[in-house]
Structure 1
């Protein structure tokens, strides 16, 4: 086994993955502790040491993966994600890069790339984006249309809620989330009692239909992905079983060839058997033949018949 193969075996091992997850958790806790001035005053050196140690471990991990897989390392999108997250931590401290330094907490998101269940959920969300675009477009269309209608109908009754288009959009977004919509509806209905028709229809379309469509698309995409993963697992298991059966058949075939090769040496070749058959028949004939010296003498024929007695 070459050194590259040994490194690949280490980075692909389960214990190594669990070790990286533990480092991510510890580093995430340390980044949270940095927000406490009291803890930084008393244990700031220890917290910074833990942070730098975690960064060093992450760099070694990425370097080992790159050494093991070479250019194939960049074929995995999660490796790109890990590289960007760790690269943000290497940005020097200063006023210019203060925002990037604040993004160090993104290292906690590395749990997504390390935990298979989280990675599966995020992959399902990303793969569902094409199907979600049409539903999101429908939702935005309903929201915009309703906002325009709300401005035209309820501007005079509630100018603080429907005074202009942006205010109406914000108000209807709050209604869509079902947060405090009763107070908004009651304020408008105090002037227009029939306004409940607008609010009930808007809530039914947005909160009960369109949003449930979004959830349905996400669930369907996740089920399809799980089915695809299970199919791949079944295919891999069948491939292993097929290889095992073929190996056993190959061993049986080799054993049969050995037996067939050893058979002529034990019983003789077919030509030898054919040549041996006449000799055996001749011996059998000789064994049953009567020797010449033991043959019975021939019966002599009398010259004349005896005369009958008178």
Structure 2
């Protein structure tokens, strides 16, 4: 009996996962959740009006609990859809984000802090990206571009510091308002990176020294053209990688690129399915054998009588 229970438990989980996946993968389920997210965003906007929040406080509180219940039911269904392979549920960053948003919203430490509660409720609106492929691609691209962006910030900070020190050395006495300290010089050059006010800065520099044109020209060339274009290149590359990742995710399993681990998991799943079929066949054969034996004994009993 223990062996039968051990076999039935995984089969029961797989059946539950299949039923829940049919729900979570359906179009009406995604549309309903997306509509609830939009409604939640609308309610959050209404609560910013003091008169509405004071007059309809109780009704808005009931609606808020209704939204939280719907989101809790959604993440529960998504978790049950992975009942046969729980590890894959936690490998999906969107599942982790959804789970964190729901769990943190019900914790006492969050509900007692009005600011934290508002932020958690606002985070639900970001979940709309899960149902918008293009927005999802942009978010993934931003995440992929972070390493390159950090490198850009490090190089940009070093460049800004060097030019701010040079500007302080040459222009501090004549233009203390813009170059009187390293902080003011860095702020001035940071604004010049956008080319805003560059003409006025160059004219003021030429009144101090004609060699200032070399200073400003080299800074604009490095900061506004080279570094900014490098950042744009990093973002474009990340967008291309995100598009490829999204396209491979949408491909059918038969045509999507698969690594060795995926192939191994598929083979294990196929072996388990074959083992289940074999066990069912053996069980059916054993039942037929018992029925035949019982029928033979029942027929032999009257003859002996």
- Length-normalised TM-score, structure 2: 0.68
Equivalent position of 1:297 in the other structure: none
Q: State how far apart, in whole Å, the 2-side matches of 1:38 and 1:30 are.
A: 14
* Separation (CA, whole Å) in 1 of partners of 2:55 and 2:243: 48
1:100 to 71, 93, 116: 116
- Does 1 or 2 have the higher relative contact order (CA < 8 Å, sep 6+)? 2
Q: Indicate conservation of the 8 Å contact 2:172/2:179, yes or no.
A: yes
> What residue in structure 2 maps to residue 7 of structure 1?
20
Residue aligning to 1:204 = 221
**Alignment counterpart, residue 43 of structure 1, candidates 56, 79, 83:** 56
Shift in Å, 1:37: 0.7
Per the TM alignment, residue 182 of structure 1 is displaced from its structure 2 partner at its CA by: 4.0
Q: State the alpha-carbon separation in 1 of the partners of residues 141 and 58 from structure 2.
A: 41
Task: Indicate how the Cα distance of structure 1 residues 9 and 38 shifts in structure 2: closer, same or farther if over 3 A, else same.
Answer: same
- Once the two structures are superposed, residues 220-255 of structure 1 have per-residue CA deviations (whole angstroms, 9 ceiling, x without a partner) of 23224434554665674658xxxxxxxxxxxxxxxx
Q: How big is the shift at 1:108?
A: 1.4
> Aligned residue for 1:55?
68
After superposition, the C-alpha distances for 1:90-130 in whole angstroms (9 at most, x for unaligned) are 24488962431231312211122332221122212222333
Q: Deviations over 1:71-100 (max 9, x none)?
A: 221111111112222334324488962431
Aligned partners of 1:232, 1:108: CA distance in 2, in Å?
Answer: 23
SS in 1 for 2:123: helix
RMSD across aligned positions (CA):
2.8
Q: Contact 1:112–1:118 at 8 Å: present in 2 too?
A: yes
Extract unaligned runs of 5+ from structure 2.
1-13, 257-305
- 2:145 is aligned to 128
Q: Kindly indicate whether the alpha-carbon contact (under 8 Å) linking 2:111 and 2:117 is maintained by their aligned counterparts in 1.
A: no
Contact 1:91 1:101 in 2 (8 A): no
Structure-2 residue corresponding to 1:86: 102
| Aligned-residue offset at 1:62 | 1.0
In the TM superposition, structure 1's runs of 4+ consecutive aligned residues that sit over 6 Å from their partners are 93-96
User: What is the aligned partner in structure 2 of residue 145 from structure 1?
Assistant: 162
Change (3 A) 1:85 1:184: farther
Post-superposition shift, 1:22?
A: 1.2
The answer as to whether partners of 1:189 and 1:195 remain within 8 angstroms in 2 is yes
Residue equivalent to 1:167:
184
**Kept after mapping to 2: 8 A contact 1:88/1:100:** no
Larger Rg: 1 or 2? Answer: 1
Name whichever of 125-134 and 100-109 sits farther off. 125-134
Q: Is the 8 A contact 1:27 1:54 kept in 2?
A: yes
Choose the corresponding residue for 1:118, options 135, 139, 143. 135
> SS at 2:56's partner residue?
helix
* TM-score, length basis structure 1: 0.67
Match of 2:89 in 1: 73
Tell me, in whole angstroms, the C-alpha distance in 2 between the residues paired with 1:96 and 1:194. 61
2:196 to 179, 182, 197: 179
How many angstroms does 1:214 deviate by?
Answer: 1.1
